[in-house]
A and B are shown apart, each in its own frame.
Chain A
Amino acid sequence: MESLFRQFVQEKKRFLLPAIVFLFVFYFSLPLTLAFFPQQMSATLPFINLSWGWLYAFAQFIMTWLLCWMYWHKAKHFDQLVERMQEENR
């Protein structure tokens, strides 16, 4: 039980820490780049008629759904550990 729980916490940390750091950096870079590099963010992308600012804004949507999906996927493994813990606790 103890060792399983330790493994569970470790594995969860290994996913969540990088995820949250990435999330904060990616998210706060949007207002910051807009504030400090307005010229570059307003420049249009090659090929499509869209500026970097819009692309980055839409990327936040993709990022949210992607991280949700990754967590959903990982959580299946966490649930298996919990199931094993439950058996040991009985």
Chain B
Amino acid sequence: MNLTYFLFFICIIICTLIITHWAAKYTKTTYQYYTAAGSLTGIQNGMAIAGDFISAASFLGIVGAIAINGYDGFLYSIGFLVSYLILLFFIAEPVHHLGKYSLGDVICARFPNRKVRMIMALGAFIISILYMIPQLVASGLLIRLLLDIDYSTSVIIIGSLMTIYVVFGGMYATSWVQIVKTVLLMSGTFLLSLIVFSRFNWEITELFEQVKQGSVLGKQFFLPGQIFGNPLEAVSLQLALILGTAGLPHILIRFYTVRNVVEVRRSVITASWIIGVFYVITLVLGLGAVALIGGENLIAVDATGNLAAPLLAKELGGDFLLAFISAIAFTTIVAVIAGLVISATTAFSHDIYHHIIKKGRATEKEQLRAAQWTALGVGITATLFALGLKNINVTFLVSLTFIVAASSNLPVLLFTIYWKRFNQTGAVIGMMSGLIVSLILLLFGPHIMNPDGGWIAREPLFPLYNPGIIAIPIGFLGAIFGTMLSRQPLESDKAFKQFSIRAQTGIDTRRDGS
């Protein structure tokens, strides 16, 4: 291992541990642990949301996808960005008004029922764990490549770091690690894109020319149709991307960390600016990678293109810049995973332990203790899974996360907030049908059933790589039919009106007795 690399990594680890140490001093109550006591400003929270959202898959994956597939690679980023509008318009403010710590709180504000809470907690838990595993596996592979440490050691290092942040620092540490990550990531990639432009004497046309020469696609590089030949597949993916974000528990719980709705809005808008600018930068980096390194060389090193960004850094600034970009990729990974750990922890310790097992009677101290033990358990479990899945390609789990979120969490959230007739049977059935259908379609789809190197070497029973277009409507229909077919008495007009006022404005109109 080379000294520059080592110093960068040690520096990042020490900085984040200092943040955690500072955060631990302020983490004495559950309110502080789960929500950082609502102390973040909108801008800070927006940066943390961006830090939570931009995963290694976005940073390394999209640069690679653009470098290899040209135009179609860029289409991924658009779905990720536009999804923030759905979040802003319909979900973010009601979630802030209705919930305290978790998504279960939001649904239980209308249906105070243990079964509903259980199912929401399980959904949030499953989504977070499913998303965490591919991130950890990817991080292990990345660190192995960059630092030349073996896979298991790197997974254990990252696994223990994320666990330490969340166990001791709770939401304070998670948020600030994410904010630091956003600053590093944005400034580092921006710098890199400037160096790319300078290589072409700041002439965009010259860059384009070089790209056409460098890419194996030649002139086709700038034209659509490299990945998405099948329109159904394209629409299905875009549907999952645009609706997924508004159902991701680790993003939604971030709206508890600010004081009021103005700050909620400010956080979403800040996040959308950071993420949008970031995707423009990844485009430049993707183009730069093809132009300077050449498509063939990129594919030769790694067929998925995941190493395009590190290779570009090495080409532009030698070992030093490569070490810097690797350190940024490393921070990116730990920040995202920490966000997922705290989301899984909240679902388990607040919803399942406090509300279901202890029936809401656990003391403050017990709750905090439970949260910290849960975080430890979640960290260890995810690390063990990642260690076991070393040689298996798990990147499809990333797209699965968006599909599950869009088909199970989103319908239930939307209907709970806006649909008067909705009832708890509808909520339970909607959650279950979305979750089960997306898992089944994925299991029988070409990601897993594939004669060409799939887990099950057979022709897939379901033809689409992106089952969103089937799974998402089924989630919505499940919630609707569950509501229509159950014989629960309709909520009174007054009760729904009270709920609705609270969801939309945060005003509690209940008088006395409650």
Contacts and interface: CB of A to CB of B under 8 A. Distances in A.
Contact of B238 (A28, A61, A85): A28
Given A9-B504, A41-B224, A64 B75 contact: no
B507 A34 contact: no
Given A79-B261, A82-B505, A71 B88 contact: yes
B122 interface: no
B74 A34 contact: no
Contacts of B75: 30-31, 57
A79 B228 contact: no
B402 interface: no
Interface in B278-334: 279-280
A45 to B, nearest CB: 12
Nearest to A35: B231
A41 B231 CA distance: 15
A85 B507 contact: yes
Nearest to B205: A49
A82 B506 contact: yes
Contacts of A51: 222-223
A86 B234 CA distance: 46
Nearest to A31: B234
A75 B224 CA distance: 38
Contacts of A27: 78, 82, 238, 242
Given A8-B505, A65-B273, A68-B269, A20 B228 contact: no
Contacts of A34: 224-225, 228, 234
Contacts of A1: 509
A64 B85 contact: yes
B235 A23 contact: no
Interface string B221-255: 01111001001001100110010000000000000
A35 B239 CA distance: 15
Given A19-B89, A41-B224, A53-B224, A64 B262 contact: no
A65 B272 contact: yes
A44 B222 CA distance: 11
B158 to A, nearest CB: 32
B34 interface: no
B197 interface: no
Interface string A17-45: 00110010001101110111010011000
A65 B88 CA distance: 12
B35 to A, nearest CB: 22
A36 B509 CA distance: 52
Contacts of B242: 27
A49 B208 contact: yes
Contacts of B234: 31, 34-35
Contacts of B280: 61
A3 B208 CA distance: 59
Interface in B170-223: 205, 208, 222-223
Given A65-B276, A67-B85, A89 B265 contact: no
A86 B501 CA distance: 11
A1 B74 CA distance: 48
B141 interface: no
A21 B316 CA distance: 45
A69 B85 CA distance: 11
B235 A57 contact: no
B88 to A, nearest CB: 6
B258 interface: no
15 contacts: A16-B89, A32-B235, A34-B234, A38-B224, A49-B208, A51-B222, A60-B82, A61-B78, A64-B272, A68-B85, A68-B88, A68-B272, A75-B261, A85-B507, A86-B507
Interface of A: 1, 5, 8-9, 12, 16, 19-20, 23, 27-28, 30-32, 34-36, 38, 41-42, 49, 51, 53-54, 57, 60-61, 63-65, 67-69, 71-72, 75, 79, 82, 85-86, 89
Top 10 nearest A-B pairs (CB, nearest first) are: A35-B231, A31-B234, A34-B224, A82-B505, A42-B223, A60-B78, A68-B269, A53-B224, A31-B235, A61-B276
Given A16-B89, A42-B223, A71-B265, 18 more contacts: A5-B501, A8-B505, A9-B504, A27-B238, A28-B235, A30-B238, A31-B234, A32-B235, A41-B224, A53-B71, A60-B82, A61-B78, A61-B280, A64-B81, A65-B273, A68-B85, A82-B506, A86-B505
